[in-house]
Amino acid sequence: MSLRFCEPDGCENILTLYIKNNELIFQCTSCLKEYPSNVEDTLIYDKNLNEEDTLADQQGYLRNASKDPLAPLVRKDCKNPSCKETIVKVISIDKKGTSIYICPICGHMFYNNAVLQR
């Protein structure tokens, strides 16, 4: 499932997912406009970042990862000194199981104690 946005006649914000009457619905958190899901929205796209991907592709995946509603959450302190979040998302970046952590609140990325982005 890829990120979806409120259509051009809307506000173009990222849509969030929720279940309404046993149906998967996308909703804009700003204008509250709802969009139906399709069959592809129920599939999980599992892609490892690898050498064939361009740097721009990899940065795009990681930049949007904090908004991924399916990313696993773990109890770990965000390494951003100005953020007090204690639950972060885990993003697998290769087939060996290497992962990075991304704060869903501030978007800060880190790998164990090494800071990747501020």
Q: List pLDDT tens digits, range 89-109.
A: 888 776 677 788 999 889 888
Radius of gyration over alpha carbons of the chain, in Å?
16
pLDDT single digits (tens) 39-86: 666 655 455 555 555 555 566 677 777 777 778 888 999 999 999 999
Q: Measure Cα distances from 82 to 6, 48, 79, 118 in Å.
A: 30, 30, 9, 11
**What does pTM read for this prediction?**
0.49
Given the candidates 3.40.50, 2.20.25, 1.25.40, 3.10.450, the CATH classification of the domain at 55-117 is: 2.20.25
